[in-house]
Amino acid sequence: MGFDVGKVELHCEKNNTAHKTNDISVNRLIVRRGQSFLVTFELHGPSRPTTDFLELKVETGPQPSEALGTRSVFRLPEGCGKGSSWKAKVHQGSVFLAGSITLDITSPADAPVGEYRLSVKTSATASVGSSLGKLLLLFNPWCKEDWVHLPEEEERQEYVMREQGLVYKGSDKYISSMAWNFGQFEDDIVDICLKLLDVNPKCLSDPANDFSARCNPIYVSRVVSAMINANDDRGVLMGRWDGRYDGGMSPTYWNGSVEVLRRWLKNGSNPVKYGQCWVFAAVMCTVLRCLGIPCRVVSNFQSAHDTDKNLTIDDFFSDYGVRPKQSPDSVWNYHVWVEAWMRRPDLSAGSLYDGWQVVDPTPQEKSTDVYCCGPAPVKAILQGCVDLKYDVPFVFAEVNADRVTWMVFADGSKKKISTDSVSVGQNISTKAVGSDKRVDITANYKYAEGTEKERAVYNLAVKRLNIPGENSNGTHDGKPGVSMKIVELTKPVSGKDIDLKLILNSNDSETRTLVINVNVQAMRYTGIPSSQIQTELKELKLLPNQDLTIPIHIPFFVYGEKMRESNSIKVSAVVTDKDKSEAVYITEKDLVPESPSLTIKAIGSELQYSEMTAEVVFENPLSEGLRNCFITVTGSGLLTETMEARMPLLKQGQRLRVMMPFTPYRPGPKKLVAGFNCDQFRDIKASCNVYIKPVTGVVPPLRR
């Protein structure tokens, strides 16, 4: 005869604290795989309870199956069952004679992640078990048997537990950082992440196998990569790069992932408008950290987008500067992706390709007919092993493609000017562990430019991809008859005029007559010109062994308006030798004007549940009024939702000071992030660090 199951205690606060999920919730059971958790329940019957027959069952997904690992039946004493790898034993402190039992239950380290239903049968003759409740199971970087195990605790704190981070933007010579609130522990985010998995096309077409495959971080990261963009499915974000953002928000509006994910859910799993690479990557980082996969956001400067898979990017110039592309290849000022940490036993019997994997949710090229990218082992990219999955050739080109510059003449003919094997893949950057410092991880992706090893790896990659034609010798082609460079005279600051100079020098003994065309263009960060700013044509003589200096002045009133939806200014000089018409020389410089100063600071006791104030200050640097100004402030663990303040007009020289009250609800290191936008300026960001001290014995205020 069986026993009736009475009161059930899931010990949510104790279990979640032990599993490092208490920041998500202490009111529902959220545990990590491969690690035991406690469940207590009462047994009522005509006789004293025993453990002669206690059979537990866990199930996940709509079609649970023991063969697929989505159902497990296991019994006491430990080890009894149907070959199950879920286990249970009586907890050492259990008071069984009192009519209740406490069990230590352990999931396998390779169980599918997701929501499980837990039940118990107390009799072999019972047809159904009694429900013990539900639990959420996540990946476990603390468990050595889990494929996402990360050995160092300091790194686990950074790449799994840290809710804030930095994203690097700009260009290789003008690297700036913006703070980002990942917010993976906000109380509704874990459910949104599971919803994301549930509406992916693989789950909709074959739910049984999809839920089973969620045991594998390789599979899960690939699904998340596809689902962050909305190109093939009901993904989170719609990308847009043309500067027109009607019906949505400019990608520069976002300061964190939480609002993006909540909007997606509220929209009925329809895409949020709009995102670009750093938004895609940061939102993916939130989802992976929430699910328990260690990950970090990585920025690659001078990032190649190689569409024809030949590891070469063609740049086309005319006498008026950068031409619209004759091929879809491009070099982005920067591109942002995610590195996720996991083992790769699918690629090697040993641990050859374990570790950081590039996973990129920005929809650039299709991978097996879906807009996703990775996981591509960073170790494989370093060695040029482009025949490995997933998408290693594409990422290899992003960091190590060669660039060929062409001059296109009025009759449509073109001339190869130079080959450059050095400039692609610069200053690959990520946030340091435990601090806000930038770490350069370029050496993880490729050997030093200009070395024989780097060229050997490039040539090996070309060979493995069976690319026809000659390989680059790794140098700029030949020594030019005229050397040129563009030099800054003032630091470029948005709102101020920019001054530079073009310096030319001849290596010949003869005087040269040169036609010099200096062009200034507003550029999108994807390497595409958005508009012409100014151009200047001169004909000058260049004397032997003497410098010729040409000043370049770019007034703010000329470039300001054209930079609202652009990332950088490209200044290029195209020089033609009148005496040698075939001699053409090109030099260029990318400028990223620094934004005007925006500051934010936190005022108050920095104590959990105590009211504090965010002070945001911005001063108008222009000689005209700023129109339609608005400030946003976010901060995971600090503010439950984004706060906004608007001002129709900020007069010349006027100082805007906004005070916003907030009550921090989660202890630990946090960031307040502010954003400022107006008609004249876009994407001005500021942040400050706040360390919230915990309090005990206080009933937390109600929050969403």
CA distance 420 to 424: 9
What region, left, alpha or beta, does residue 55 occupy, with left being phi > 0 and alpha being psi -120 to 50 degrees? Answer: beta
**Residue 487: alpha-carbon gap to chain centroid:** 33
Task: Determine which one of 12, 193, 215, 277 is catalytic.
Answer: 277
More confident residue, 512 or 690: 690
**Is residue 413 classed exposed, middle or buried when 0-12, 13-18 and 19+ CB atoms within 10 A define those classes?**
exposed
CA distance 601 to 620: 19
In the prediction, which pLDDT does 704 show?
A: 41
Q: Is 11 a catalytic residue?
A: no
Is the pLDDT reported for residue 464 higher than 90? Answer: yes
Main-chain phi, psi angles of 361, to 5 degrees? -85, -10
Rg of the chain over all Cα atoms, to the nearest angstrom: 29
Task: Please name the residue that has the structure tokens 């999955």.
Answer: 389
In the prediction, which pLDDT does 475 show?
A: 43
Mean pLDDT throughout 460-467? 91
CA distance 685 to 170: 13
Q: Which two tokens stand for residue 160?
A: 């799994």
Residue type, 458: Y
In the prediction, which pLDDT does 509 show?
A: 81
Instruction: Using pLDDT thresholds of 50, 70 and 90, give the confidence band for residue 567.
Output: confident
User: What whole-number percentage of the chain has pLDDT above 70?
Assistant: 92
Instruction: Using pLDDT thresholds of 50, 70 and 90, give the confidence band for residue 274.
Output: very high
In the prediction, which pLDDT does 77 show?
A: 62
Is the pLDDT reported for residue 467 higher than 70? Answer: yes
Q: Check whether the bond before 207 is cis (ω within 30° of 0).
A: no
Task: Determine which one of 335, 354, 372, 391 is catalytic.
Answer: 335
Mean pLDDT throughout 245-267? 94
Task: Determine which one of 23, 146, 210, 360 is catalytic.
Answer: 360
Q: What is the DSSP letter of 24?
A: T
In the prediction, which pLDDT does 399 show?
A: 97
Q: Is 373 a catalytic residue?
A: no
Q: 608-646 burial by CB neighbour count: b if 16+ within 10 A, else e?
A: beeebebbbbbebbbeebbeebebbbbbbbbbbebbeee
Is the pLDDT reported for residue 580 higher than 90? Answer: no
**DSSP H/E element including 203:** helix 201-205
Taking every pair of C-alpha atoms in the chain, what is the biggest distance, in angstroms?
112
Instruction: Using pLDDT thresholds of 50, 70 and 90, give the confidence band for residue 478.
Output: low
Mean pLDDT throughout 283-301? 98
Mean pLDDT throughout 272-299? 98
Is the pLDDT reported for residue 473 higher than 60? Answer: no
More confident residue, 475 or 11: 11
Among 443, 445, 398, smallest CA distance to 303 is for: 398
How confident is the model over 83-142, as pLDDT tens digits? 458 999 988 876 655 678 899 999 999 999 999 999 999 877 777 889 999 999 999 999
77-81, 257-261, 481-485, 596-600: least confidently modelled range = 77-81
**Is residue 192 classed exposed, middle or buried when 0-12, 13-18 and 19+ CB atoms within 10 A define those classes?**
buried
E strands, 459-611, are 482-488, 498-506, 512-523, 529-542, 547-554, 568-577, 580-591, 598-603
Is the pLDDT reported for residue 216 higher than 50? Answer: yes
Mean pLDDT throughout 137-161? 98
Mean pLDDT throughout 447-455? 94
Mean pLDDT of all residues in the chain? 90
Q: Is 360 a catalytic residue?
A: yes
Is the pLDDT reported for residue 474 higher than 60? Answer: no
CA distance 554 to 520: 8
How confident is the model over 610-622, as pLDDT tens digits? 999 999 999 999 9
How confident is the model over 26-48, as pLDDT tens digits? 999 999 999 999 999 988 876 65
